[in-house]
């Protein structure tokens, strides 16, 4: 039985431009991309944290870097990625507990994730960056 299930040929469509992802699918791929980008920028974030923590001199350099307009935009993007990963992650934990697995709730909870994560990004971004 299990062997048959493994060997069964399933239809495949991996033509990316023709795939229209539903909202939970968009949430899912942003969850993955945001995790990967946050991982790649860990050295930069650790360096920022180190600068802010080491001495008044390094703190001054940290402030200078963090107040650079380009860095502020990058940091705002990273805050959104973090908040999206955080909110979507909580949604996945609820799905693990079989909460909201039907289609309507899954779409609704995706909308909530986008709304809450963008709101948190604006609140935290304004608080921290400006």
Q: Tell me the closest approach of the beta carbon of residue 126 to other proteins, in angstroms.
A: 11
- Residues 117 and 119: their CA atoms lie apart, in Å, by 5
When asked if residue 50 is in the footprint of other proteins (CB under 8 A), the reply is yes
Q: How far apart are CA 43 and CA 12, in angstroms?
A: 38
Would you list the DSSP string of 79-118?
HHHHHHHHHHHHHHHHHHTT-S-SHHHHHHHHHHHHHHHH
CA torsion sign, 73 to 77 to 80 to 86? negative
What dihedral do alpha carbons 117, 118, 121, 124 form, nearest 10°? -90
Q: Does residue 124 interact with other proteins by CB under 8 A? A: yes
Q: How far is the CB of 117 from other proteins (least distance, A)?
A: 12
Task: Decide: is 127 part of the binding site for other proteins (CB under 8 A).
Answer: yes
Residue 39 touches other proteins, criterion: CB under 8 A: yes
Does residue 62 touch other proteins according to CB under 8 A? yes
Tell me how far, at minimum, the Cβ of 39 lies from other proteins, in Å: 5
Residues making contact with other proteins (CB under 8 A): 2-3, 6, 32, 35-36, 38-39, 42-43, 46, 49-50, 52-56, 59, 62-63, 66, 86, 89-90, 93, 96, 124, 127-128
């Amino acid at each position: 039985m299990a062997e048959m299930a493994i060997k069964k040929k399933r239809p495949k469509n991996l033509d990316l431009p023709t795939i229209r992802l539903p909202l939970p699918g968009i949430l899912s791929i942003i969850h993955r991309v945001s995790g990967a980008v946050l991982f790649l920028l860990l050295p930069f974030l650790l360096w920022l944290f180190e600068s802010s923590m080491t001495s008044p001199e390094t703190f001054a350099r940290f402030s200078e870097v963090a107040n650079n307009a380009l860095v502020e935009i990058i940091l705002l993007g990273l805050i959104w990625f973090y908040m999206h990963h955080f909110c979507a992650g909580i949604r996945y934990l609820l799905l693990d507990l079989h909460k909201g697995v039907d289609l309507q709730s899954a779409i609704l909870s995706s909308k909530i994730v986008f709304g809450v994560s963008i709101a948190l990004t604006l609140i935290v971004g304004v608080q921290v960056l400006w």
